[in-house]
Chains A and B, each alone.
Chain A
Amino acid sequence: MHELSMADAIVKTVIESAEKNDAIEVQEVTVEIGQMTMLNPEQIMFMVEILSEDTILKGAKFNMEEIPIEIKCESCNFEGKIDFEGIDHYAPIINCPACEGRELSITAGRECNVKNIKIEQREEDAQDS
């Protein structure tokens, strides 16, 4: 259960960027979470909302975007996303969907990326930047 520390890092990252850009309000935050992380986006959402209270983020809309797992197969050089439909969550890490090979490297799906924010700036600050 490390969603709390992740949520804390997300909130700190956003506040730092918002302050640097002279925001008076943060309206939206977009975070990308890889499907291969041990993170539950709903729990992160719950905790960032709690941690946002009494900060410039209060009331901001959080968009959680899930990043699909992508692999590269060392045997057949297959590169691409894994389709989760109808299979166990982690089954894809076992075999390559193209050649069933097991020598795979994971190229996407391990992110917890604060992608962007939408902020309200004072007009004079906005002109300066």
Chain B
Amino acid sequence: MHKIAEVEIQHDIMVANRKLAQKNQKILDNSNVFGVDVLGAIGSGKTSLIEQLIQEIKYPVAVIAGDVISKFDAGRFEQYDVPVIGLNTGKECHLDAHLVEHAFHDLPLDEVDILFIENVGNLICPVDFDLGAHMRMVVISVSEGDDTVEKHPLIFKDADLVVINKIDIAEAVGADSDKMVSDVLKLNPDVQVIKTSLKTGEGFKEIMEALEKAKNE
């Protein structure tokens, strides 16, 4: 004899990730580490920006380099003699809180003040996955087209700092960087938007200042 039963589960996978993210933030807080989730488009300059920040920032820094194949970016960071963990996401399009927590175990968090977590280059999937960082910095560039913000609104809605990079080539690629700024502000009125060229150095100091301010708040 068999019986049919209905079983309530109510297990939200998104909530499960958010809980892990909260746990991650506690781990960072216990070691006085300020975590920055660096998100953005492929080729927008995320890795280059972190490289420059590693060299200029006066605090001890560590990096988690997430990528489908992470060894390339991790290798770029290792040359600056900072702790680096490469996280291969394999087939996945984003980092999640669980993967990041694993990386924490291999980092000397007590010796670090700022941890950059470079997400997979993607403006869509990482939106759903909080990692537990204190700040979400979104990096895009004019070469993705000046409609990028309008096409990917959610990532900007949750951003704490937005960097629009490669403004030195805006004219060449026919992009209006001011439009990109105003598109971000329509979605997220209070967010700081910084136009940069990592090649010429324009705007870089403002990013440093924004990070230091957020860290010390």
Q: Do A and B come from one complex?
A: yes
Which residues of A pack against B, CB within 8 Å? 1-2, 4-6, 9-10, 13-14, 17-18, 21, 23-24, 27, 34, 36-39, 90, 93-94, 102-103, 110-123, 126, 129
Q: Which residue of A lies closest to B151 (CB)?
A: A90
B153 in complex: contacting residue of A9, A13, A27, A93, CB < 8 Å: A93
Smallest CB–CB gap between A23 and chain B, Å? 8
Q: Is the interface of B mostly helix, strand, loop or mixed?
A: mixed
A39 to B154, CA, bound (A): 13
Which of these, A2, A13, A37, A111, contacts B9 with CB under 8 Å? A13
B93 at the interface (CB under 8 A from A): yes
Do B11 and A116 touch across chains, with their CB atoms under 8 A apart? Answer: no
Shortest distance between the CB of A120 and any CB in chain B (Å): 5
B4 touches A120 (CB 8 A): yes
Q: Whole-angstrom distance between the alpha carbons of A123 and B2 in the complex?
A: 5
Q: Which residue of B lies closest to A122 (CB)?
A: B2
Cα distance, A4 to B96, chains bound together (Å): 14
> Which residues in B have some Cβ–Cβ distance to A below 8 Å?
1-16, 91-94, 96, 124-125, 127-129, 153-154, 157, 186-187, 189
| A24 and B1 alpha carbons, distance in the complex (Å) | 12
Among B91, B92, B187, the residue within 8 A (CB) of A93 is B187
Q: How far, in Å, is B214 (CB) from chain A's closest CB?
A: 20
**Cβ–Cβ contact A110 & B14, under 8 A:** yes
Do A115 and B2 touch (CB < 8 A)?
Answer: no
Q: Once bound together, how far apart are the Cα atoms of A95 and B189, in whole Å?
A: 11
Shortest Cβ distance from B96 into chain A, in angstroms?
Answer: 8
Cα separation A62 to B136 with both chains bound (whole Å): 35
Can you list 23 pairs linking A and B with CB atoms under 8 Å apart?
Answer: A2-B92, A2-B125, A4-B91, A9-B13, A13-B11, A24-B2, A27-B4, A38-B124, A93-B157, A94-B153, A111-B12, A114-B9, A114-B10, A115-B9, A116-B10, A117-B7, A118-B6, A120-B5, A121-B3, A121-B5, A122-B3, A123-B2, A126-B3
List chain B residues, Cβ under 8 A from A121. Answer: 2-5
Q: A18, A34, A36, A38 — which one has the most chain B CB atoms within 10 A of its CB?
A: A38
The answer to whether B128 touches A113 (Cβ under 8 A) is no
Minimum distance in angstroms from A25 CB to a CB of chain B? 8
Q: How many angstroms from the CA of A50 to the CA of B93 in the assembled complex?
A: 20
Bound-complex Cα distance A121 to B8 (A): 15
The residue on A at minimum CB distance from B1 is: A123
Contacts of A36 in B (CB 8 A): 154
Out of B1, B3, B12, B92, which one reaches A5, CB within 8 Å?
B92
